[in-house]
């Protein structure tokens, strides 16, 4: 169900809370046959040590979550957890929302939690597959040594969430890929990532994660203007992608960075969709056009310089 105009301020949304409805949780539908549940779907965790450890994890999260991470646990499924991470400033993920479904194994903490990224089929990071698979040393889903890997006595869910925010959703995710790089440069990859982050915003407003509906609407009402201004600034080469701080003059004619035709086209397509979606949820969009138009700034000149610029844009498209 798409979001409406219901107004619930982000500051009124608890960072940690226990809720009832887990019907759209990924692992509710993916439980292994050897993990028994009762007629109400409640997971039967019989290991007292596991239950005590999960309760301890809840306490740690409730007391120590940073302002940019929100968590919901479930009254009827102690083994499930959902987290929302706000994309950090100075990254191509800024102002975005990223959701992860977690499941504690029956022998927790001997083994790390399972983590599924709600990707909507998009791959906006080398560590986050479009299938939802999360590649991270701390989860033992990637190589690592010592404290990089899961340690039953020391590792926590909070540590996992902070790693996802700081190590995965970072300033230059291009360098997270150890093999064949996903683009020509980290700048061109950041352009792809920002466009995919914008698509994720649209999907979230159309199909919000359960128990986060009000939070998602409030978050995008608060940040709609910044996101739209960033689209304009990045498309027109005013500022390097990921570094828009909300104050850069959108109408400035000074071009700072090269922008590929591929990215310009993606912004031309996504911007009006975002504009309409933000309006539908009651975002106070101010002094911004409904669609993007080329302002002519930074157009390649004729001659050798112009040819080189056009060649560069074609290579990075």
Q: What is the mean pLDDT of the chain?
A: 87
Do 53 and 109 lie in one domain? The reply is yes
Cα separation, 17 vs 316, whole angstroms:
45
Spatial strand order of the sheet with 69-74 comes to: 16-19, 69-74, 80-86, 97-103, 114-117
pLDDT of residue 157: 98
Of residues 18, 135, 151, 231, which has the active-site annotation?
A: 135
pLDDT of residue 43: 54
pLDDT at 26 over 80: yes
Q: Which pair of tokens denotes residue 252?
A: 């400035």
CATH number, residue 100: 3.10.110.10
135 is catalytic: yes
Do 108 and 196 lie in one domain? The reply is no
Cα separation, 40 vs 63, whole angstroms:
30
- Contact (Cβ atoms closer than 8 angstroms) between residue 242 and residue 94: yes
pLDDT of residue 298: 41
Measured CA angle at 175 (ends 170, 181), to 5 deg: 130
What's the pLDDT band for 300 if we cut at 50, 70, 90?
very low
pLDDT of residue 255: 61
Q: Which residues contact 271 (CB under 8 A, 6 or more apart)?
A: 228, 231, 232, 235, 291, 292
Cα separation, 101 vs 85, whole angstroms:
12
- Find the domain containing 227 and state its range: 186-315
Question: Among 176, 195, 217, which residue terminates a domain?
Answer: 176
pTM for the model stands at 0.87
Do 63 and 138 lie in one domain? The reply is yes
The answer to whether position 36 is within a domain reads no
What's the pLDDT band for 36 if we cut at 50, 70, 90?
low
β-bridge mates for residue 134, sequence order: 128
Do 165 and 19 lie in one domain? The reply is yes
Residue 272 to residues 114, 199, 277, 288, Cα–Cα distance (Å): 37, 12, 9, 11
Do 250 and 169 lie in one domain? The reply is no
Question: Among 176, 203, 220, which residue terminates a domain?
Answer: 176
- Contact (Cβ atoms closer than 8 angstroms) between residue 288 and residue 225: yes
Do 142 and 221 lie in one domain? The reply is no
Q: Which pair of tokens denotes residue 143?
A: 């190589």
Each residue's pLDDT tens digit, 130-150 = 999 999 999 999 887 777 899
pLDDT at 296 over 90: no
What's the pLDDT band for 253 if we cut at 50, 70, 90?
low
């Amino acid at each position: 169900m798409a979001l409406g105009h219901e107004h619930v301020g982000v500051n009124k949304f608890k960072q940690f809370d226990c809720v009832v409805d887990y019907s759209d949780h990924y692992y509710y539908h993916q439980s292994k046959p050897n993990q028994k549940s009762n007629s109400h779907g409640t997971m039967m965790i019989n290991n007292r040590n596991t239950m005590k450890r999960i309760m301890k994890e809840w306490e740690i999260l409730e007391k120590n979550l940073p302002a940019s991470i929100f968590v919901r646990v479930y009254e009827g499924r102690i083994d499930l957890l959902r987290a929302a991470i706000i994309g950090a400033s100075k990254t191509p993920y800024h102002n975005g929302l990223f959701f992860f479904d977690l499941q504690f194994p029956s022998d927790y903490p001997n083994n790390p939690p399972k983590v599924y990224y709600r990707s909507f089929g998009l791959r906006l990071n080398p560590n986050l597959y479009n299938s939802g698979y999360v590649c991270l040393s701390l989860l033992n889903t990637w190589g690592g040594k010592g404290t990089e890997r899961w340690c039953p006595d020391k590792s926590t869910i909070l540590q996992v969430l902070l790693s996802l925010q700081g190590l995965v959703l970072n300033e230059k995710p291009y360098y997270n890929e150890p093999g064949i790089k996903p683009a020509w440069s980290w700048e061109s990859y950041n352009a792809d990532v920002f466009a995919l982050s914008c698509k994720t915003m649209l999907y979230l407003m159309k199909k919000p994660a359960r128990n986060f509906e009000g939070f998602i609407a409030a978050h995008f009402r608060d940040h709609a203007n910044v996101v739209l201004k960033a689209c304009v600034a990045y498309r027109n080469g005013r500022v390097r992608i990921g570094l828009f701080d909300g104050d850069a003059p959108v109408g400035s004619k000074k071009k700072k960075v090269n922008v590929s035709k591929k990215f310009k086209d993606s912004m031309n397509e996504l911007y009006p969709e975002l504009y309409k979606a933000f309006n539908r949820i009651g975002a106070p969009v101010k002094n911004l056009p409904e669609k993007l138009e080329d302002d002519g700034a930074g157009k390649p000149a004729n001659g050798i310089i112009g040819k080189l610029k056009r060649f560069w844009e074609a290579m990075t498209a």
